[in-house]
Every structure is written in structure tokens, then in C-alpha cells.
Structure 1
Amino acid sequence: MDDYSECLDIALQELRLAQSALRRDIAEYPTPIAGCDEQFNHLLDQRERVRNALEALDTRHFVPTPRKLSTE
């Protein structure tokens, strides 16, 4: 296994754990939820950041390569 592959696997695992913890925290958040509730809004922001990070790690990126190998 490549060194970076193990790191990516660990990152995915940690992000999924964070995602689960955030889901639990949001589900258990006391009601009523006001629109100006900073703590709840922070949880929503963190959930979005984790979701974006997971999506970025799962997305294959196109890396253009030269058609001819150069000596440079």
C-alpha cells in the first residue's frame, strides 16, 4: 500500500467519525432552535465542512499529462 493511501484511509475514517458525532449532536440539540443560535449554526457549518471534505476525497480529479515525454 502506498504511504499516502494509508493516510487517505485514516482521513476518511476520521471524517466519517466526525460526521457521525455531528449528526448525533444535531439530533440531540435541545429545542426550540432560534435562527440566531450560534452553537447550532456552528454545528451546521461543521457538518457542511466535513461533508465537503469527504466529497473532495471521493472525487477523482483529472490531471492532464503530456502526450510526449520530455527530458525536462
Structure 2
Amino acid sequence: MTSEDCLIVAKAELRMARQLILDEIRDYPTPISGCDAQYNHLIGLRGSVSDALSALEAPRFVATPRTPDPTAGVESR
């Protein structure tokens, strides 16, 4: 298994986790009080999973001598 395969699996697992959390939130019994620790925990998990998925899907800038920062543009020679 390659690192790319692992990333594909990780993204799929995070998407599945996000959907399961969304299902739990949707099916949570109402009324929901603002101090409901279990519901608030689900909301926090939803954010954490979404952040992790976004981090894996976002392009990552890697500085090089020719492009020391993201705004440096591409040097052609």
C-alpha cells in the first residue's frame, strides 16, 4: 500500500465518520438544551472531523528557494 492509498482510505473514513456524526445530530432527541454535553460533544466532533478532512484535501505550500512564500509566483527560466 502506498502513502497515496493510505490518504485515500483516510479521507473515505473521515467522510464516513462525518456522515455518521451528522446522522446522530439529525436523530438527536429534541428539545435540546444549550448545556446538553452529549449534543455539544457531537457538534465538536463534527467540526474536528471536518477540519481534518479539509486539511487532507487542501493543497499544501512547500517553500523552495525560488518560491519562498505563496505570493512569490512562479519563476521561469
Q: Give the TM-score, by structure 2 length.
A: 0.81
Output the CA distance in 1 between the equivalents of 2:4 and 2:64: 22
Output the CA distance in 1 between the equivalents of 2:64 and 2:5: 25
After TM superposition, give the deviation of residue 66 of structure 1 in Å. 3.1
* Higher helix content, 1 or 2: 1
Aligned to 2:54: 55
Q: Percent identity?
A: 47
Post-superposition CA distance 1:37-65 (Å, at most 9, x none): 00000000000000000100111111012
**1:35-50 alignment runs, 5 A limit:** 35-50=34-49
1:19 matches 2:3: no
Please identify runs of 4+ aligned residues in structure 1 that moved more than 6 A.
Answer: none
Output the CA distance in 1 between the equivalents of 2:20 and 2:2: 28
Q: Give the TM-score, by structure 1 length.
A: 0.87
Aligned to 1:10: 9
**Unmatched 5+ residue regions in structure 2?**
67-77
Post-superposition CA distance 1:2-52 (Å, at most 9, x none): 711001000000000001100100000000000000000000000000000
Aligned residues: 66
**Unmatched 5+ residue regions in structure 1?**
68-72
